[in-house]
Amino acid sequence: MAKNKKRRSGGGSGGKKKTQQQRKRQPRPAASPPAPAPAASSPALWGVGLALLLLSVAASLMLVLQSLGNLSLPGCGPASACGRATSSVWGSVPGLGWPLSHVGLAYFLGIAAAWIVSGGRLPAALRWIVRLSAVGSIGLIIVMIVGGYLCPYCLAVHLANLAFVGLLELKFTGQPMRPALRPIGALVGVFVIATGILAAVQTREAQAVEERDEDALSQSTDAIIEGGGEDAGFTGRYHYGPEAAPVRVVIISDYQCPDCKNVESELRQILATRDDVSFSAKHFPFCTECNWKAREHNMNPHPNACWAARAAEAAGILGGDEGFWKMHHWLFDRSGSFTQAELQQALPTLGFDYTTFVETMGSPETLARVEADINQAVELGLRQTPMVFINGVELTGWRARNALTRAVDRVAATNPPPLTADADRPPSALQKGVNDWLAQPKRTLPSDGSGWAWGPEDPAVDIVVWGDHLEPFSIELDRRLRAVAESAPDVRYAFRPYPFDKACNENMQPRSPQHDGACDAAKAVEAAGRLAGLEASWAMHTWIVENPRSFSLDAAQRKARELGIDPSRFATLVASPEVAATLTEDIAAPRPLGLRGVPFLFVNGRQVPFWRLKGEPLVERIVEVARGGEAG
């Protein structure tokens, strides 16, 4: 038994060793090839994703700056597709009034940060957020198309976002993801910080605007209390309230204008609580169908405004004061928009027969009445609606909180006698232009490094223009101001260059008109002055603005020879770093002052908001007022 056990024991041990040897002899499976790097690690694809996000950031930033008033985007004025998009109900967060461009900028900055820290491998939670943003972009693009305001900057934001989402879905789906905490933290942190900064800037800008509105409101209310002047019978065709009233309100408005609707709402509350206020309305529809001024500027932001105004006039013709005000209120309640079916349904409730009303609305009489209001508004210098008058004096600053209510209260508190509209006379467009200049704050202008100002060292009137030697409006204004300076020995005039030429001006806004050669023109004027003094500088300046189409550096060298300047020295100085540095200073100088275009005009340190008035010598009148010491 013992031997048998020993053999089994020995046999077992030998078998175990043999098995181990057999295992050692068995070849090991070949190592599997390394897995390919995930697509997210591709620098090219990661870079494309980041570039798309940065494009959305850049376009959003431009819209933010536009909304804050710090940037004037080409094609993005109040009547443009961009202006209509940002001012529409879809341009802000419902209930909060927070601009959608602000939300977009903070979001895209946050996603860009998450994209960077994750190396392009966003966690599932962020991927769903990105997908939701794509749904939002598609929805907003549809809204813009249906609404007829396809804003190019908004479109750039949304198309770049959709391209990014497409890249994420096609190239990065199924790839390993980084831990969720860091990318989500980056998104949330950057979004919160960006939103906080935007809120602070928005608050500061709002406070600045409110201060300006309050100042304008105070000044215009003082002017109303002081009295308007000569008889002119400034009033609308229909009156609400007593015909003779201590406080007489006239508003020129557009039924589709949001600001007009806000002022109208405030006025209704005033009329409901006071019996010493009368109101009459005039029309200025921003619509090319009946408004020649809108056609002249190719502005058609309110396509139904003409028919709304004619509907109000038809109601007045058929129903007198009562009929006019019923239709007036109905139109404002609907923001001036209505279909034929909606009008047909409403007319019986307003007391009108549909067939008779439509015939009257389409008659030459209603068109003539609306056109008469438009012409008078232009004569009064209207630049936006509403234009509000109290006792014949324009009320500015009406955007301030409860502005109309406070102005009416202040005027009524002085116990003015009840009068009819015959006592009211608003100023002309010419006088309004002067008043608008007088209302501007006095600014300290940046020093002129060149010193090529024409006129005395201690002038009664100091005129400074930033302009482009080859730009038509700059040329027109310069011609008029040189004539003023030549005829008035107490006027000093300086033309400081701001060329719309990318060769030297990096501050040009996107899509601004390019005036090739404008940099060379400015340098030629500077070089002529450095080589031969003030008179040579102005001689070169005058020659350029009188021959803008034929300007070239070769032609400028020939002109320099005529002025007694050595052409080779002139050419060398034009190309010198010193002249380039002076031009750079001139270009940078007006930006803090709010330059958005040229010409940019100041008279005695006050900006001239509008210098061009068809058929009127507005600039010359402003200089005349300044010489009289009214704005020294």
DSSP state string for 354-418: HHHHHHHHTSHHHHHHHHHHHHHHHHTT--SS-EEEETTEEE--TTSTTHHHHHHHHHHHT-PPP
DSSP code of 459?
Answer: -
Q: Find where tokens 């080409």 sit.
A: 74
Q: Is the pLDDT of residue 246 over 80?
A: yes
Distance of CA 238 to the CA centre of its chain: 35
Confidence band of 173 (pLDDT split at 50, 70, 90)? low
143-152 per-position pLDDT tens digit: 888 877 788 8
Q: Is 497 left (phi over 0), alpha (psi -120 to 50) or beta?
A: beta
Q: What is this structure's pTM?
A: 0.60
Q: What is the pLDDT of residue 24?
A: 46
As given in the structure block, the two tokens for residue 388 are: 């509000």
Q: What is the pLDDT of residue 177?
A: 52
Q: Which amino acid is at 532?
A: A
Contact 386, 253 (CB under 8 A): yes
**Which residues are CB-neighbours of 314 under 8 A, at least 6 positions away?**
327, 357, 360, 361, 363, 366
Phi, psi (degrees; rounded to nearest 5) at 321: -55, -45
Q: What is the pLDDT of residue 389?
A: 93
Contact 530, 522 (CB under 8 A): no
Q: Find where tokens 């900028």 sit.
A: 105
Phi, psi (degrees; rounded to nearest 5) at 248: -120, 115
Mean pLDDT (whole number) for 317-346: 96
Q: Which residue has the higher pLDDT, 209 or 453?
A: 453
Of the given ranges (1-5, 147-151, 186-190, 591-595), which has the lowest mean pLDDT?
1-5
Mean pLDDT (whole number) for 72-90: 60
Q: Which residue has the higher pLDDT, 609 or 594?
A: 609
Q: Which amino acid is at 454?
A: W
Q: Is the pLDDT of residue 20 over 60?
A: no
598-610 per-position pLDDT tens digit: 999 999 999 999 8
Of the given ranges (64-68, 294-298, 416-420), which has the lowest mean pLDDT?
64-68
Q: Is the pLDDT of residue 230 over 50?
A: no
The three-point CA angle 29-30-35 to 5° equals: 125
Of the given ranges (215-229, 444-458, 502-516), which has the lowest mean pLDDT?
215-229
Confidence band of 3 (pLDDT split at 50, 70, 90)? very low
**Distance between CA atoms of 226 and 220, rounded to whole angstroms?**
10
Mean pLDDT (whole number) for 214-225: 78
Confidence band of 7 (pLDDT split at 50, 70, 90)? very low
Best-predicted range by mean pLDDT (29-43, 162-176, 563-577): 563-577
In what helix (H) or strand (E) does residue 602 lie, and over which residues does it extend? strand 600-603
Q: Is the pLDDT of residue 18 over 90?
A: no
Q: How many CB atoms lie within 10 A of CB 23?
A: 8
344-368 per-position pLDDT tens digit: 999 999 999 999 999 999 999 999 9
Q: Is 248 left (phi over 0), alpha (psi -120 to 50) or beta?
A: beta
Domains, the chain, in order of start with CATH, read: 39-203 (1.20.1440), 227-427 (3.40.30.10), 461-627 (3.40.30.10)
Confidence band of 110 (pLDDT split at 50, 70, 90)? very high
Confidence band of 83 (pLDDT split at 50, 70, 90)? low
Contact 593, 443 (CB under 8 A): yes
CB-hemisphere CA count at 13 Å for 277?
22
252-283 per-position pLDDT tens digit: 999 999 999 999 999 999 999 999 999 999 99
Of the given ranges (1-10, 218-227, 270-279), which has the lowest mean pLDDT?
1-10
Contact 149, 85 (CB under 8 A): yes
Mean pLDDT (whole number) for 601-630: 90
Contact 79, 300 (CB under 8 A): yes
Confidence band of 228 (pLDDT split at 50, 70, 90)? very low
368-403 per-position pLDDT tens digit: 999 999 999 998 889 899 999 999 889 988 999 999
| pLDDT averaged over every residue in the chain | 86
Q: Is the pLDDT of residue 317 over 50?
A: yes
As given in the structure block, the two tokens for residue 377 are: 């508004």
Of the given ranges (57-66, 100-109, 202-211, 523-532), which has the lowest mean pLDDT?
202-211
Q: How many CB atoms lie within 10 A of CB 609?
A: 12
Mean pLDDT (whole number) for 565-583: 96
285-309 per-position pLDDT tens digit: 999 999 999 998 888 889 999 999 9
Confidence band of 509 (pLDDT split at 50, 70, 90)? low
Q: What is the pLDDT of residue 339?
A: 94
Q: What is the pLDDT of residue 69?
A: 64
**Distance between CA atoms of 124 and 376, rounded to whole angstroms?**
63
Confidence band of 511 (pLDDT split at 50, 70, 90)? low
Q: What is the pLDDT of residue 411?
A: 94
SS3 category, 174: coil
Q: What is the pLDDT of residue 99?
A: 87
**Distance between CA atoms of 171 and 602, rounded to whole angstroms?**
56
Q: Is the pLDDT of residue 236 over 80?
A: yes
Q: Which amino acid is at 210?
A: E
Q: What is the pLDDT of residue 6?
A: 41
Q: What is the pLDDT of residue 282?
A: 96
Q: How many CB atoms lie within 10 A of CB 9?
A: 10
Q: Which residue has the higher pLDDT, 36 or 59?
A: 59
Of the given ranges (6-15, 402-411, 495-504), which has the lowest mean pLDDT?
6-15
Confidence band of 468 (pLDDT split at 50, 70, 90)? very high
3-state secondary structure 220-267: HHHHHHHCCCCCCCCCCCCEECCCCECEEEEEEECCCCHHHHHHHHHH
* Residues of the chain above pLDDT 90, percent: 59
